[in-house]
C-alpha cells in the first residue's frame, strides 16, 4: 500500500494516508516534476500509457511522482527517474527550478520542478509510459494549441513556470 504525507499549505506534515484516501478527500500532499533536457535544449515529453488509471494517453512531463511518506522531494525525483525512464542518477544531478502550488480539480499538490540535463539512454516502463520524445520549446507551444494533443494540467503549469524561469 502506498502512503503519502498529508501536509499544510506551508509544507508541514500533518499526518499520512493512502494515495487514494488523499485524492478522494482532496488533501494537500507533495509531488515532483522533472524536465529531462538534452544538449540541444529540448525537453523530453512522455505519452502516458493506456494502462494508467488517470490521464491515460495524455502528454506529460518527462518524470512525475507523488512523494511517498517520509521521502524528500528530491528522493522521489531520483526514485521515479529510475522507475519510469531507467535513469540512475544522484541528487546533485537535479537542478531545482521552483516550488509551487499545483491545485487542480483532481488533486492538491505542493510540487517542486527540477531539470535534469541528460541525453539518454532510456529504458521506459511500458506500464507507465507509451513513448517518449524530445521536443523544442517552439514545438511544445505548437502542440499545446493542437486540439488533438492533450497535455496534463500539471505539465501545462510546470512548462509555464519553466519558461518564466528561463
Give the cell for residue 92: 546533485
Residue pLDDT tens, the chain, 166 long: 899 999 999 999 999 999 999 999 999 999 999 999 999 999 999 999 987 777 888 999 999 999 999 999 999 999 999 999 999 999 999 999 999 999 988 899 999 999 999 999 999 989 889 999 999 999 999 999 998 899 999 999 999 999 997 6
The residues spanned by each domain of the chain are 3-165
d(CA 125, CA 149): 22
- Name beta bridge partners: 60: 46
pTM for this one?
Answer: 0.94
State the Cα–Cα distance between residues 10 and 48, nearest whole angstrom. Answer: 30
Mapped onto helix, strand or coil, the DSSP state of residue 62 is coil
Architecture of the 3-165 domain: Alpha-Beta Complex (3.90)
**Considering Cα of 52, then 101, then 12, then 73, what sign does the dihedral take?**
positive
Amino acid at each position: 500500500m502506498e502512503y503519502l504525507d498529508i501536509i499544510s499549505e506551508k509544507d508541514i506534515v500533518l499526518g499520512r494516508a493512502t494515495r487514494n484516501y488523499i485524492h478522494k478527500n482532496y488533501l494537500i500532499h507533495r509531488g515532483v516534476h522533472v524536465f529531462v533536457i538534452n544538449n540541444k535544449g529540448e525537453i523530453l515529453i512522455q505519452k502516458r500509457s493506456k494502462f494508467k488509471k488517470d490521464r491515460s494517453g495524455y502528454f506529460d512531463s518527462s518524470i512525475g511522482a507523488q512523494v511517498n511518506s517520509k521521502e524528500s522531494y528530491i528522493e522521489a525525483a531520483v526514485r521515479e527517474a529510475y522507475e519510469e525512464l531507467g535513469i540512475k542518477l544522484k541528487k546533485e544531478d537535479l537542478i531545482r527550478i521552483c516550488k509551487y502550488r499545483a491545485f487542480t480539480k483532481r488533486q492538491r499538490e505542493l510540487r517542486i520542478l527540477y531539470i535534469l540535463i541528460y541525453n539518454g539512454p532510456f529504458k521506459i516502463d511500458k506500464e507507465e509510459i507509451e513513448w517518449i520524445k524530445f521536443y523544442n520549446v517552439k514545438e511544445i507551444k505548437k502542440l499545446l494549441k493542437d486540439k488533438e494533443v492533450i497535455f496534463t494540467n500539471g505539465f501545462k503549469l510546470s512548462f509555464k513556470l519553466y519558461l518564466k524561469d528561463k
